[in-house]
Amino acid sequence: MKAIALKFTPGATLRRSAKHRLRGAPSAGKSPSVKDLHSAMAELHIYEAELEIQNEELLDSRAQIEESQKKYFRHFDLAPVGLIRLNHAGLILEANILGAQMLDVNRALLHSGPRPFLAHVAPSSVAVFEQHLESARSSGKMEMCELRLRGATGHETFVRMQSVISRSEQDETDFYITLTDLTERREIEQKLALQKVVADAAVAAKELFFGMLSHELRTPLNAVIGFTGTLLMGLPGPLTAEQKRQLETVRSSARHQLSLINDLLDLAKIESGKVELNFEQVDCAGVVNEVADTLRPLAKQKGLRFEVRVPKSIVVKIDRRAFSQILINLVNNAIKFTNEGGIRIDVQKKNGAIGVSVIDTGIGITREDQARLFDAFARLDSASANREEGSGLGLHLSQKLAALLGVRINFKSKLGQGSSFTVLLQDQPS
């Protein structure tokens, strides 16, 4: 605490003045004159005034001391961090309220006699503490470390310690220390680290599971699809109409299961953040025509028309594979829920935006079903009359991919008149 300079009128001045007056006073045995009495009275008044001044000075100095003590209490004792002063040997000389709480000791005991700070350091942090003080002593600068303090009950507090040395009034080296409680932060960090380990383990387990799923199920399904295709070509011999129908049913079921597995694998990649995107300038017409060429045979099998209306020279900046997958899912979904009429992919450019629409003449979607249209494995009431309900992942995956690409999918539908799904893209000037 900073010393306060107290200003008093020197007592020696008063004493010299009093002696001077006594020497000029009348000798004993002689009656003082009226003039001497008046002079003595005047001096008494002066002395009285001087005493009043000194009393005022004492009261003012006392007020300054009290205000200084209040400031000291506010700044030191009530500081939001632990403040501790150690001597050169590491003994505690002073501690504020929070500092004593961090050490888990009664503050009065700290001031009753020297106590080594090391006694409050957890065994696992002793080496850190000793190295910290040595660094502060040798560098002469503020040094920082993180360590654990252990209280009398065994409870440990994780703190950040900052220390700097200073010369005391006795010309000895003292350590001035601040302690910041990091226990809550460390607990949060440990919980987050544990959550990450659990999440990473879950992702690894999911990848392992879907990897096994891919290997164990896709291989035989591809074999079934290939074998039934060979039989339907009339090899090794001609088939009856019933045999062809049964083979078509088997191949269609195998393709459906393979599609489901592929959708699950794609979803697992998206959910685990394993999808790597490569944004580049892409010819929109080229992607649309490739999707149409891939799925036109599937529409033809159901007797559906398949049209494409796309202007030339429309360029978008997007990940080609993800964009193509969105269109495949939307067209596949349209084919599954359309039994007559046709499918059309319509690309329109308007006000710097591009809308790629997949339009069908299917059964349409009820208002109730529209609310959960993009949910995974949604079983829609409006689709219950259709023979091919699909995996329930096509629209869900399309929306997930669209979110990754930063684009939006809008839709319109009316029962008995079909539906349209539009992917909104940004035009890229050529």
pLDDT digits (tens, 9 = 90+) for 253-312: 887 778 777 777 777 777 777 778 899 999 999 999 999 998 898 899 889 999 999 888
In angstroms, the CA 147 to CA 160 distance is 7
pLDDT at position 281 is 92
In angstroms, the CA 94 to CA 108 distance is 10
| Contact (Cβ atoms closer than 8 angstroms) between residue 411 and residue 419 | yes
More confident residue, 14 or 376: 376
Determine what percent of the chain is predicted with pLDDT higher than 90.
24
Residue reference for tokens 């501690």: 95
Q: How high is the mean pLDDT of the chain?
A: 80
Quickly state the pLDDT bin for 2 (edges 50, 70, 90).
Answer: very low
pLDDT at position 297 is 87
Instruction: Taking residues 45-69, report their average pLDDT.
Output: 72
Instruction: Taking residues 367-385, report their average pLDDT.
Output: 70
Contacts of residue 57, defined as CB under 8 A and 6 or more positions apart, other chains included, come to 6, 7, 8, 9
Q: What is the pLDDT of residues 148-193, one digit of tens each?
A: 999 878 888 899 999 999 876 666 788 999 999 988 888 888 888 8
More confident residue, 7 or 338: 338
- What are the distances in angstroms from CA 133 to CA 57, 114, 414? 45, 18, 78
| Top-confidence range, 234-243, 260-269, 362-371, 375-384 | 362-371
* Spatial CA neighbour of 142 closest among 116, 182, 177, 115: 177
Q: Is the pLDDT of residue 358 over 90?
A: yes
